[in-house]
Structure 1
């Protein structure tokens, strides 16, 4: 059946028959869809007061880059550093970790191109690899691998540059070069070059990448000194320390003890199993991305236990859904589309994943939770990395129902997870295809 003149006439008749439609049309033409639909009681439900809170530093700003996962991880780690240094706030260099992420991702991509050299160029796998090889985004285990290998440094040791805060031009050029390198590697393989020769060719490509990153992001420190004053105004100087030593002594995390839990309530991913995603990673020789799929209540219980213990929680979510950005509120009832449009979007969480309507897009940090008298969560305190202009000076509030619907991942210490779910890590890990929605990367800015 096609759209006919009679059908269009019926559509117009139906629209004109409801005077509310014209009032909504006028409002939306002036202020837009969301502002016309915002629930007037939204701010009343979010007082930005929470019963349990962790220590946190000053609000950070990822600028025009997709480094949210780095900011969230480093903002989680810095709480331990602040305690050890006895300082009110602290910030790690996100430029330092960006440098190594770009270099390691380049190597991971080129290694994957070599591994798939016998695949047809138009295969879904090769085209997936070529789609976006050097994007800013990532997941918890990808960053864990960077910390394990390269450590971390204070922000003053490797400060921001134009291209660390504005990554688009760098990503465009680097993507073009990596695709060029991929073509050359595949051509060399077709010409009968050996694995050793392909590896040597790859190393020359990586040398170019290293030079480009040094020119745009700056030289990475191998040894550095750091001066600071503590909360008692006492001066301190750390000298001749490596990034790995700084992370070991002033964060002191056992990265193997930090477990990633996901909530993917789809039929193809039974709860109680561990999953990984093929061809997804940063450090090629590092630990593979691994997460345990569990009911959303398990993620909440682990996050609450961590917060009660003073430990902030890294998490990944679909931040663009039902977000009132200016107010800094994530609430499943933020917009009353039923009132303005006549109906809302009626998809379950599983359906949103299956039909491409939702996936993990952004990483932030839980730094508090508001519990009722029975210990049930009402709302969550969120530290974002979009600066201090929105929300409560950069702090956001998330309703518990929003957590249910749009939160997908938390990373917490093993001790906060019930043993029932940890058993999954002793079983064979299920491999997901590279294009699975749980392979999406946090990169919203």
Structure 2
């Protein structure tokens, strides 16, 4: 058979296309309306009802705008829930911009330390090329958020509001990335000149001082102390002065973050269930806890998430939000689009195959605020709090079908009290270190 595409082959392709009336109908629909819009199935929209047997009440929907801080918004949404319940608030927000500031600074240090750790690796090798690809992108993981809070605390949004650069981070990220790549180049040159590690770290400190200055210019100086003022649902006014970010977290949030663990579902051959995993060169706070996961069958993730919501607590999770998802209606359903019928083709990869071949990975973090259980106590749809404002979905909430959960859910964070003793022991065992580019090293970063 010929290696190239021949005129005869093209003629045969054309004849096959023209012979089917459905191809013409599909072509007209897609060229005028777009591929995904043409494939939406009305039946799915009608069947996916935003009602749930377990439904938690949250404050007003948040909006990460043009930034990749979904992981941070989702985590702070689970924490603000505690503050609202404890202090009888109608709505409330913790400052995402505050932790964003410290995350950028810590990621800069983590990146430069990774460069120092790989000085003898070739600049065009896979590892250094990977490190240089995105030194300080907006994405993150649950454990990275915990590291930030344990070191820097949290503040109300009123104490450190949004800025142009936090709500639309692209320009700042481009500038920081250029500066950090330049810094990496300088450190590697100094190493080639024979400079010692102490001298390189001294230079790194000066580099971080410059990053700090850039962050202050873009985001504003982070507060050291502040006053917290609010009105509760009964219209009573409250004020407390002289709070620090750490004292505010301890008093007003009061959650022991060490009680929470990340469960993943990665059904690939290289990741046996019942084992803990970490990822090389994935982190932000250098001295903080490493990212750690426990890999379990998908039904175990559901079981733990449902148990936590039954106890009145929301659940942070990570998924591949762009797959079989309709933004306007807020529906995540394998049947939301009839692409296979429209295109007369089939998509047959399994979840494991999609991970192995780069077709899917975790891209976005959100919060479960409810689930609908059928007469047998089995879930059939999940209530999802997103961070894209009120417009998408039903007042900002998405609906995830249970079949979608099976295929595109990758991670939930739950209190370890919902795990068995055997699962806790597996989580706490020495983790298997995955390569930096493993799909389980992906960061929730969708804007």
Distance in structure 1 (CA, Å) of the matches to 2:14 and 2:122: 51
Q: TM-score, normalised by structure 1?
A: 0.99
Which residue of the partner structure matches residue 397 of structure 1? 399
1:287 to 272, 282, 289: 289
Distance in structure 2 (CA, Å) of the matches to 1:151 and 1:219: 15
Instruction: After superposition, give the CA deviation of every residue in 1:266-300 in whole Å (9 maximum; x if it has no partner).
Output: 00000000000000001000000000000000100
1:105 matches 2:107: yes
What is the RMSD computed on CA atoms of the aligned residues? 0.9
Runs of at least 5 residues in structure 1 that lack an aligned partner in the other structure: none
The answer on whether the counterparts of 1:82 and 1:88 sit within 8 Å (CA) in structure 2 is yes
2:137 to 135, 138, 163: 135
In the TM superposition, what are the counterparts of 1:343-354 in structure 2 within 5 Å?
343-354=345-356
Which residue of the partner structure matches residue 202 of structure 2? 200
Which residue of the partner structure matches residue 241 of structure 2? 239
Distance in structure 1 (CA, Å) of the matches to 2:347 and 2:156: 45
The answer on whether the counterparts of 2:264 and 2:301 sit within 8 Å (CA) in structure 1 is yes
Which residue of the partner structure matches residue 37 of structure 1? 39
In the TM superposition, what are the counterparts of 1:58-73 in structure 2 within 5 Å?
58-73=60-75
Which residue of the partner structure matches residue 57 of structure 1? 59
Which residue of the partner structure matches residue 413 of structure 2? 411
SS of structure 1 residue aligned to 2:398:
strand
Distance in structure 2 (CA, Å) of the matches to 1:42 and 1:232: 42
Which residue of the partner structure matches residue 170 of structure 1? 172
Which residue of the partner structure matches residue 325 of structure 2? 323
The answer on whether the counterparts of 2:262 and 2:413 sit within 8 Å (CA) in structure 1 is yes
Which residue of the partner structure matches residue 276 of structure 1? 278
1:34 shift after superposition: 1.2
In the TM superposition, what are the counterparts of 1:207-286 in structure 2 within 5 Å?
207-286=209-288
Which residue of the partner structure matches residue 385 of structure 2? 383
Distance in structure 1 (CA, Å) of the matches to 2:408 and 2:399: 14
SS of structure 2 residue aligned to 1:334:
coil
1:426 shift after superposition: 3.5
State the aligned residue count. Answer: 445
The answer on whether the counterparts of 1:53 and 1:308 sit within 8 Å (CA) in structure 2 is no
Distance in structure 2 (CA, Å) of the matches to 1:168 and 1:132: 12
In the TM superposition, what are the counterparts of 1:76-115 in structure 2 within 5 Å?
76-115=78-117
The answer on whether the counterparts of 2:102 and 2:148 sit within 8 Å (CA) in structure 1 is yes
Distance in structure 2 (CA, Å) of the matches to 1:374 and 1:91: 37
Distance in structure 2 (CA, Å) of the matches to 1:339 and 1:183: 52
Instruction: After superposition, give the CA deviation of every residue in 1:203-251 in whole Å (9 maximum; x if it has no partner).
Output: 0000000000001000100111011111111110011011011111111
1:334 shift after superposition: 1.0
1:338 shift after superposition: 2.0
Distance in structure 1 (CA, Å) of the matches to 2:11 and 2:360: 35
1:185 to 187, 192, 200: 187
The answer on whether the counterparts of 2:45 and 2:336 sit within 8 Å (CA) in structure 1 is no
SS of structure 1 residue aligned to 2:42:
coil
Distance in structure 2 (CA, Å) of the matches to 1:382 and 1:426: 29
> Bigger shift: 81-90 or 380-389?
81-90
Distance in structure 2 (CA, Å) of the matches to 1:114 and 1:34: 46
SS of structure 1 residue aligned to 2:261:
strand
Which residue of the partner structure matches residue 157 of structure 2? 155
Distance in structure 1 (CA, Å) of the matches to 2:293 and 2:219: 32
SS of structure 2 residue aligned to 1:95:
helix
Instruction: After superposition, give the CA deviation of every residue in 1:378-413 in whole Å (9 maximum; x if it has no partner).
Output: 100000000111110100000000000001000110
SS of structure 2 residue aligned to 1:41:
helix
1:14 shift after superposition: 0.9
Which residue of the partner structure matches residue 430 of structure 2? 428
